Amino acid sequence: MSNSPFLSVCTADIIRNAAAALKAGHLVAFPTETVYGLGADARNPIAVKRIYEVKGRPSDHPLIVHISSINQLGNWATEIPDYAIELGRNFWPGPMTLILKRKDLAGDFITGGQDTVALRVPSDPIALALIKEFEKISNSAIAAPSANRFGQVSPTSSSDVYEELGEYLSDSDIVLNGGNSIIGIESTIIDCTGKQPRILRPGFITLEQLEARLDSPIVEQLVSTTLRFSGAFEKHYAPKCKIILSDQIWKGAGFLALKEIATPGDMIRLASPESNEEFARILYSTFREADRKRLDLLVVRPPKSEGIGIAIIERLSKASLGR
Ligand code: TXA
Ligand code: MG
How much is the pLDDT for 123? 97
- Contact at 8 Å (CB) between 238 and 323? yes
Q: Which atom of ligand 1 is nearest to the CA of 120?
A: 7
Q: What span, in angstroms and rounded, lies between the C-alpha atoms of 254 and 272?
A: 12
How much is the pLDDT for 229? 43
Residues 6 or more apart whose CB falls under 8 angstroms from that of 217 comprise 196, 211
- Contact at 8 Å (CB) between 136 and 129? no
How much is the pLDDT for 322? 55
Indicate whether residue 204 lines ligand 1 (CB < 6 A): no
The whole-model pTM stands at 0.94
Q: Which domains does the chain have, with CATH numbers?
A: 6-221 (3.90.870.10), 242-319 (3.40.50.11030)
* Arithmetic mean of pLDDT, 208-230: 65
The predicted-structure confidence for 85-136, as pLDDT tens digits, reads as follows 999 999 999 999 999 999 999 999 999 999 999 999 999 999 999 999 999 9
How much is the pLDDT for 142? 98
Q: What span, in angstroms and rounded, lies between the C-alpha atoms of 225 and 227?
A: 6
Q: What span, in angstroms and rounded, lies between the C-alpha atoms of 24 and 47?
A: 9
**Closest residue by Cα to residue 92 from 58, 73, 113, 69:** 69
SS (H, E, C) the chain: CCCCCEECCCCHHHHHHHHHHHHCCCCEEECCCCCCEEEEECCCHHHHHHHHHHHCCCCCCCCEEECCCHHHHHHHEECCCHHHHHHHHHHCCCCEEEEEEECCCCCHHHHCCCCEEEEECCCCHHHHHHHHHHHHHHCCCEEECECCCCCCCCCCCHHHHHHHHHHHCCCCCEEECCCCCCCCCCCEEEECCCCCCEEEECCCCCHHHHHHHCCCCCEECCCCCCCCCHHHCCCCCCCCCEEEECCCCCCCCEEECCCCCCCCCCCEEEECCCCHHHHHHHHHHHHHHHHHCCCCEEEECCCCCCCCHHHHHHHHHHHCCCC
Residues 6 or more apart whose CB falls under 8 angstroms from that of 292 comprise none
Indicate whether residue 148 lines ligand 1 (CB < 6 A): no
Higher pLDDT, 307 or 31: 31
Q: What span, in angstroms and rounded, lies between the C-alpha atoms of 152 and 161?
A: 11
- Contact at 8 Å (CB) between 238 and 286? no
Higher pLDDT, 230 or 85: 85
Indicate whether residue 222 lines ligand 1 (CB < 6 A): no
If one counts every other C-beta atom within 10 angstroms of the C-beta of residue 220, the result is 15
How much is the pLDDT for 231? 47
Q: Which atom of ligand 1 is nearest to the CA of 146?
A: 14
Q: What span, in angstroms and rounded, lies between the C-alpha atoms of 265 and 273?
A: 19
How much is the pLDDT for 270? 98
- Contact at 8 Å (CB) between 195 and 177? no
CA of 300 to the centre of ligand 1 (A): 25
Q: How confident is the model at residue 234 (pLDDT cuts 50, 70, 90)?
A: low
The predicted-structure confidence for 3-39, as pLDDT tens digits, reads as follows 344 555 688 899 999 999 999 999 999 999 999 999 9
Ligand index nearest the alpha carbon of residue 145: 1
Indicate whether residue 96 lines ligand 1 (CB < 6 A): no
Ligand 1, atom 3, lies closest to the CA of 187
Ligand 1, atom 13, lies closest to the CA of 145
* Arithmetic mean of pLDDT, 256-270: 95
Q: What span, in angstroms and rounded, lies between the C-alpha atoms of 157 and 184?
A: 9
Q: 228 pLDDT exceeds 50?
A: no
- Contact at 8 Å (CB) between 283 and 185? yes
How much is the pLDDT for 3? 39
Q: 215 pLDDT exceeds 90?
A: no
Q: How confident is the model at residue 216 (pLDDT cuts 50, 70, 90)?
A: confident
CA of 67 to the centre of ligand 2 (A): 18
Please name the amino acid found at residue 256. Answer: L
The predicted-structure confidence for 51-84, as pLDDT tens digits, reads as follows 999 999 998 899 999 999 999 999 999 999 999 9
CA of 146 to the centre of ligand 2 (A): 4
How much is the pLDDT for 236? 72
Q: How confident is the model at residue 218 (pLDDT cuts 50, 70, 90)?
A: confident
